[in-house]
Amino acid sequence: MEISLDQWQTLVTIVDQGGYAKAAEHLGKSQSAISYAIQKLESSLELQVFRIEGRRAVLTPAGELLYQRAVRLVGAAHALENTARQLSQHWQAQISLAVETVFPKPILFDALRKFSDAYPLTRIHLLETVLSGTSEALISREVSLAISSYLPPGFMGDALIQLRFIAVAAPSHPLHQLKRPLTYTDLQQHRQLVVRDSGTRNLDAGWLGAEQRWTFNELSTSIQAAIAGFGFAWYPESQIATPIDQGQLKPLPLESGGERYASLYLIYAEPEFASPACVELGRALHASSVYLGGCAAAKMAAQNPP
């Protein structure tokens, strides 16, 4: 008994489209060809797949079971064809992406989901970086593309989003007990929490020169330290919205400088040689930034990938 994939596809399409006529239209075949395929299927199986009720073809109990199995079979066949198609196009096996830790995770994960849905064969190596670590990964070609707040000399970048940083501390922190606008001198008397540069340049951007300083490798750990009352820091608004809403962190009433802004850019290591997969990941990052970040500059850049 030999039953072709085309016959199983015909069975699935008849059920999904709601009848022989619509299935024929969907598959671009004549209705007689559809009827013949089912007749041949039933003959080979020696059982009835459809029964006629009025003017409708309805699955028999056996046909219902076969339909459920056929859906999985046809889906697996399409997935196999897609895999073969990608391999024949020499699709890139892996992409390395450097992302600064301040980049909003919902945007990142949305982009990775879109990309992986379309290109499940391509592996992603995600390198989370801070300050000069991103530039070094680009310059050394450790990554194919990066999301960075700094454009290294010789590189071009497309704007993704602008981040707002807020100076905060736990409500119980001594700075909040002063009950007045805070000065630069006030801050220097207390411990500042900073995130270590992941590169070799050991940049200390944002440090006020306070004698007391705690340095962390992870942004999330630094935020937890601030919640515990160990110091103050500037954090991306997107990453501390929940602690602020829950009363775990409170914005500091600075006379000036309580808010800082930074633009993040998408940078290709070698835009003229970027692979189709790399360009597609860049498009996904742009699209997610537009949808979730609302950046007009990213919207313009998404229309002009490298």
pLDDT at position 196 is: 80
Please indicate, yes or no, whether residues 47 and 119 belong to a single structural domain of this protein: no
pLDDT at position 91 is: 64
Please indicate, yes or no, whether residues 70 and 154 belong to a single structural domain of this protein: no
pTM comes to 0.63
- Range of 209's domain? 162-261
pLDDT at position 90 is: 57
Please indicate, yes or no, whether residues 220 and 199 belong to a single structural domain of this protein: yes
pLDDT tens digits, one per residue of 262-296: 899 999 998 888 888 899 999 999 999 987 765 43
CATH number at residue 63: 1.10.10.10
Please indicate, yes or no, whether residues 56 and 123 belong to a single structural domain of this protein: no
Please indicate, yes or no, whether residues 63 and 104 belong to a single structural domain of this protein: no
pLDDT at position 303 is: 47
Please indicate, yes or no, whether residues 238 and 286 belong to a single structural domain of this protein: no
CATH number at residue 189: 3.40.190.290
Please indicate, yes or no, whether residues 148 and 217 belong to a single structural domain of this protein: no
Please indicate, yes or no, whether residues 132 and 16 belong to a single structural domain of this protein: no
Please indicate, yes or no, whether residues 81 and 196 belong to a single structural domain of this protein: no
pLDDT at position 305 is: 56
pLDDT at position 88 is: 64
SS (H, E, C) the chain: CCCCHHHHHHHHHHHHHCCHHHHHHHHCCCHHHHHHHHHHHHHHHCCCCEEEECCEEEECHHHHHHHHHHHHHHHHHHHHHHHHHHHHCCCCCEEEEEEECCCCHHHHHHHHHHHHHHCCCCEEEEEEECCHHHHHHHHCCCCCEEEECCCCCCCCEEEEEEEEEEEEECCCCHHHHCCCCECHHHHHCCCEEEECCCCCCCCCCCCCCCCCEEEECCHHHHHHHHHCCCCEEEEEHHHHHHHHHCCCCEECCECCCCEEEEEEEEEECCHHHCCHHHHHHHHHHHHHHHHHHCCHHHHHHHCCCC
Cα–Cα–Cα angle for 128, 214, 218, rounded to 5 degrees = 15
Indicate the residue among 70, 88, 106 that finishes a domain. Answer: 88
pLDDT tens digits, one per residue of 184-229: 889 989 999 988 876 544 544 555 556 678 988 888 999 999 999 9
pLDDT at position 294 is: 58
pLDDT at position 89 is: 60
Residues of the chain with pLDDT under 50: 200-201, 203-204, 295-301, 303-304
Domain count, the chain: 3
Closest CA to 237 of 187, 151, 155, 163: 163
Please indicate, yes or no, whether residues 174 and 252 belong to a single structural domain of this protein: yes
pLDDT at position 295 is: 45
